[in-house]
Amino acid sequence: MAGGVIETELTEEEQTKPVGIVSDGSAVLGLGDIGGFSALPVMEGKAVLFQELGDVSAMPLCLKTQKPDEIIEIVMLLQNSFSGINLEDIKAPKCFEIENKLIEKSNIPIFHDDQHGTAIVVLAALLNALHLADKKIDEVKIVFSGAGAAAIAVCKLILSAGAKNIIMYDIDGAVYRGRIQNNFAHEEIAKYTNLNCSKLPLKDEIKDADVFIGLSAPDILNEQMIRSMAKNSIVFALANPKPEIMPDKAKEYGAFIAASGRSDFNNQINNSLVFPGLFNGVIKNNIKKITNDIKLNCAFALASMVKDDELSTDYILPDALDRQVPLIISKNVI
């Protein structure tokens, strides 16, 4: 009844174990590989968001090791002290191995927020943007800049929502089957993207693209590239703190809808819209595995929070601090 919490008097109030925020500090947003010690303030901030927005107690666990086997072992040894694990700021491709093995072995829910929280909020934003642009997800051409953990997870969720024509780029160019620079995650996603094995540079492939999704580096896009996109183009430039192109410049150059991860522009795409409510729902419903269907449900619920009479090119998602968002997300974790 006490959920593992020691009390001097057992009350009827339900007690739950905290969520563990586990990081090795190898891919901290905007800072890169700064290690677990330096990453602690970031994880403490995440714990505050869990509590304030989702009414979920969370504890930062910043590790001195960056070895996947050791991270997995530590989490397995500690899992009985937590109601779930939020993996955070662990770089690709090792983050895939860590998450997959923990999902397979553990008896509590495992969620890499950099991947799946980002994927849920990007899909929600894309659904609303496509609705405004009068385009269908299974008919549009989508170009990614970035093929790391977040980009691959976003790509997978968008594919499961019906997208069919996606091409991904990283520092070595277009991702395609058999590319010598591919890691195992690139090779897997290449089975479902860039089906023609295009090797064109980004500046050529973005011509007539309906959607650009950037999870890469600053200043990737320029005026010519934006102007070459299809009519009613959608530009999600999500590199932080400096995006692939500034949203105001993207709109100046002809983008129909522009979004970024920044709070000082319209259409902020921020995964804080997702993880507090998601973990609240996971804990309340005693869910042991966060499935793809749960992610899709959350994305559709988040998109639906912006009503048709509110939806505009400058408003495709609720505010990041909207207190109703975690409540709605939690209800849709089923």
pLDDT score, position 334: 85
Question: Which token pair is 230?
Answer: 């299809």
pLDDT score, position 12: 66
pLDDT score, position 65: 97
pLDDT score, position 7: 63
pLDDT confidence tier of residue 8, bands split at 50, 70 and 90: low
CB 49 within 8 A of CB 272: yes
Residue 193 above 70 pLDDT?
Answer: yes
For the chain, give the percent of residues with pLDDT over 90: 93
CA trace torsion 101, 83, 116, 89 (10° rounding) = -80
- The whole-chain average pLDDT of the chain stands at 95
Report H helices in 148-222.
149-160, 184-189, 202-205
CB 110 within 8 A of CB 84: yes
CB 304 within 8 A of CB 317: no
pLDDT score, position 10: 62
41 cis-preceded (ω within 30 degrees of 0): no
What is the identity of the amino acid at 201? P
CB 114 within 8 A of CB 88: yes
CA distance 145 to 239: 10
Residue 49 Cα distances to 16, 90, 117, 256, 279, angstroms: 17, 19, 14, 32, 12
pLDDT score, position 86: 98
Question: Crossing angle, helix 292-304 and helix 324-331, to 10 degrees?
Answer: 140
pLDDT score, position 56: 96
Query: pLDDT of 18-55, one tens digit each?
Result: 999 999 999 998 889 999 999 999 999 999 999 999 99
**SS3 call for 84:** strand
Give the residue carrying structure tokens 């042991």.
288
pLDDT confidence tier of residue 6, bands split at 50, 70 and 90: low
**Local structure of residue 18 (DSSP, 8 states):** P
What is the identity of the amino acid at 168? M
Query: pLDDT of 200-227, one tens digit each?
Result: 999 999 999 999 999 999 999 999 999 9
pLDDT score, position 126: 98
Question: Which token pair is 125?
Answer: 């934003």
241 cis-preceded (ω within 30 degrees of 0): yes
Residue 180 Cα distances to 92, 175, 187, angstroms: 17, 10, 10
**SS3 call for 85:** strand
Residue 109 above 60 pLDDT?
Answer: yes
Q: Mean pLDDT, to the nearest integer, of 97-102? A: 97
Largest pairwise CA distance in the chain: 68
pLDDT score, position 64: 96
Q: Mean pLDDT, to the nearest integer, of 289-316? A: 97
Residue 316 above 90 pLDDT?
Answer: yes
User: What residues are labeled active site?
Assistant: 46
Residue 5 above 70 pLDDT?
Answer: no
pLDDT score, position 16: 85
What is the identity of the amino acid at 10? L
Query: pLDDT of 115-160, one tens digit each?
Result: 999 999 999 999 999 999 999 999 999 999 999 999 999 999 999 9
For the chain, give the percent of residues with pLDDT over 70: 96
pLDDT confidence tier of residue 164, bands split at 50, 70 and 90: very high
